[in-house]
Chains A and B, each alone.
Chain A
Amino acid sequence: MNAVLSPLAAIGAAVLGMLAALGRVALFAFDTVTHLFRPPFYGREFAAALVQIGWLSLPVVGLTALFTGGALALQIYSGGARFNAEEVVPSIVAIGMVRELGPVLGGLMVAARVTSSIAAEIGTMKVTEQIDALVTLSTNPMKYLTLPRVLAATLAVPVLVAVGDAIGIFGGYIIGVTRLGFNEAAYLKNTVDFLELWDVTSGLLKGAAFGFIVATMGCYYGMNSGRGAQGVGRATKTAVVAASVMILAANYLLTELFFTS
């Protein structure tokens, strides 16, 4: 009997553990948001976070979008050729980039770069007693460390997504014109004609949600880091994995919400 029940008990314990962790993250996120409405607000830390998260992520997001746009154009051209639909390349590249690939790949790249950095930085601050030092200096770590990063990421990632969308479409345009023989003006016209405002807006909203997830997970796992180098390493790894999975899950839920009604 035990041989049957033990695996079930292990699965149950894992599920309960995951739900408990999700609950703790939700409470942490809620607490972070409430600090937005309670002064003091640390403007310098917010500005520094904007530069770190937004400006310094531009190269990696831009390069990702450029290559993705180019590859997408090639894929759609080759796939479309099976039923003589090569001309849809510009519109599919544009819609695919702004609705899906721009926000998701942008979010994942920012998670790789920013979530890891935030979790490692805050985790190190915790194990070297810098978080305790903040408290003794009458400074709330949630206000000083977490809120500026979460707010900066929530505002910066949509901008990164917008830039990534433009670069991705440009990547498709370059490949379309130079490799696939599209007329320059026709490619641009097809791109613009089939793109709707909601396509772009929905992608930017996804970007804001992914930015919130990216910074919240980095801060949560950093604040709850274990002791020593191993503890910080584990916190960093878990933060990136959790942020990536949550971005993909949130992407599905938001797509359901935005496009199935």
Chain B
Amino acid sequence: MDRIARAFRRPEKRAALIPFLTAGDPSFDASFALFREVIAAGADLVEIGIPYSDPLADGPVIQAASLRSLRAGFSLPKAFELTAALRRDTEAGLVLFTYVNPLFQYTPERFFRDAKAAGADGVIVPDLPVEESDPVRAVADRYGVALIPLIAPTSGEERVARVCAAARGFVYCVSSLGVTGERAHVSARVRELVAMARRYTSLPLCVGFGVSAPDHVQSIAEYADGVIVGSALIRRLERAMADWPEDEAAWAEAVRSFVRELNFPLLRQAGM
């Protein structure tokens, strides 16, 4: 069984926790340490965000994280270095998140070859809709890396069916209209979206965009297989960096404690 599938079959978990951090934010070394904290604190899979100059699907928090990373000198090949370094001591699923232009410029062939060699299990490309995805998926399949697609509340049944039929790894269900970022509530529409997708795939269904708090995680776990948390986690990191600019241990603690908080409602012995 591959690492993505395994991440969703942990007997002690009701659903998988999938934190997102931007690679290289605020520096390569600091970000490596933060990803390790996240994994140690209970992540079943992690999303490794590759910073991009024009992140169309992202709100201000991840835009700012991308900018910090790029200003610190991050470039695409370092994402593979970071992944390989993490892979040395974890069996957690590692999923790269990249916009399509960096992937095209690097070429899909090199991208998936290097992703595979680094130990990445999947790749999410938020601006690569199913219509445009066949050539990319062909390369991903050849290297045994899952091209994980997204569905949205506006997709409609026909598109959901088509996306699910071509899905690998898991299906990323976008919780609400809009870009990434914290929200007070998770839209009820995503529950219907997940239910619709269930009819078309047996792959795990994960919910992301706007998931900001343990009670969001808890309610999503009732119907989905995984919960993705990005902006809320990065905001904890930003706050720690603002409060303790030089103290990387404090950043790690902020990230660790939030991931634990998010993880708690997913643990079966927490008894709900």
Whether chain B is bound by chain A comes out as no
